[in-house]
Amino acid sequence: MGSRCACTWILGLAGFRVVHTESDGEHSDSRLTIRIERRGLRRYPCSGCGRRVSRVRSMGDRTWDDLPWAAHPVTLVYAQRRVRCRHCGIRTERIDFADPKARVTRRLRQQIGVDCQSMPTSHAAVRHGVSWSKARRAEAAFLADWDRTRPRHRPRHLGADEIQRGKGQ
């Protein structure tokens, strides 16, 4: 595996660096597991107020599916902290690259969401190497986001159910 600096650069997640990469095989399409850590000071943004907090109460590994590296599907691993914030009490650390309870990164969600507008969810799931339920959740989050950020430009309201029906499932 290449240097960690190169891996960090390729990953391109602001504020995070690659600690370790692992492949589950030698194949060109084997899954890459990438462990990441925050760069710099050991302070973690509180999900309540956004302030950076250094008092960590606990931590636990979480995983997110991310965009592939060439033909390798990618899983990110990060030990997300629970912090003791002076203003909010005990909160989870805020992670900018994913929605709070999402199992995929925002950028993968974006791609799945776009693909789901032109192909069945199951096809998008296969294409991005995620389960159907992950793809379905990503699609729903993508649509909700789209709905929220473009209130004036949509030609008419399309519900997720309508779009689903439009695919003839």
Q: Which residues are at the interface with Zn ion (CB under 5 A)?
A: 46, 48-49, 85, 87-88
Question: Which amino acid makes up residue 1?
Answer: M
Least distance (Å) from Zn ion to the CB of residue 95?
A: 15
Least distance (Å) from Zn ion to the CB of residue 38?
A: 17
Residue among 35, 43, 38 at smallest CA distance from 83: 43
d(CA 158, CA 60): 38
Least distance (Å) from Zn ion to the CB of residue 48?
A: 4
Q: Which CB sits closer to Zn ion, 48 or 68?
A: 48
Q: Which CB sits closer to Zn ion, 6 or 49?
A: 49
Quickly count: other Cβ atoms within 10 Å of residue 6's Cβ: 11
d(CA 49, CA 51): 6
Least distance (Å) from Zn ion to the CB of residue 13?
A: 22
Q: Which CB sits closer to Zn ion, 85 or 108?
A: 85
Q: Which CB sits closer to Zn ion, 13 or 85?
A: 85
d(CA 93, CA 44): 6
Quickly count: other Cβ atoms within 10 Å of residue 90's Cβ: 13
